Amino acid sequence: QVQLVESGGGLVQAGGSLRLSCAASRTVFSIMTMGWYRQAPGKQRELVAAITGGGRTKYVDSVKGRFAISRDNAKNTVYLQMDSLKPEDTAVYYCGVGAPTRGWDFDSWGQGTQVTVSS
């Protein structure tokens, strides 16, 4: 199983930006899907953004046009650039990686990083 370490979370004012990074402990095959889920208190976990090995991306509607996911296969790292942040983006963000046969679901997860957006 791959170990994933997230970084880049924190406290930011509404309208601000953050960049999350997720580094894998070992080589992640470039065909693997990588991405981010988030979970806010009292809410279900939701897929925020994901990117396949072929570069196809998926975003939840609420972040389209504000967030951008990218990956650097040479560094085994996936990034989430978050701009125009809103208080409703406040959540713990979890990085994940999964086999392409799992679609947008993941089978390895990081510990999570807290993102708090103040109004």
Q: 55-113 pLDDT, tens per residue?
A: 999 999 999 999 999 999 899 999 999 999 999 999 999 999 998 888 888 989 999 99
How far is residue 35 CA from its own chain's centroid?
5
Mean of the per-residue pLDDT values for the chain?
94
Predicted local distance difference test score (pLDDT) of residue 8: 96
- Sign of dihedral through CA atoms 100, 102, 105, 109? negative
Burial class of residue 119, CB neighbours in 10 A (0-12, 13-18, 19+): exposed
SS3 96: strand
Q: Confidence band (pLDDT; 50, 70, 90) for 114?
A: very high
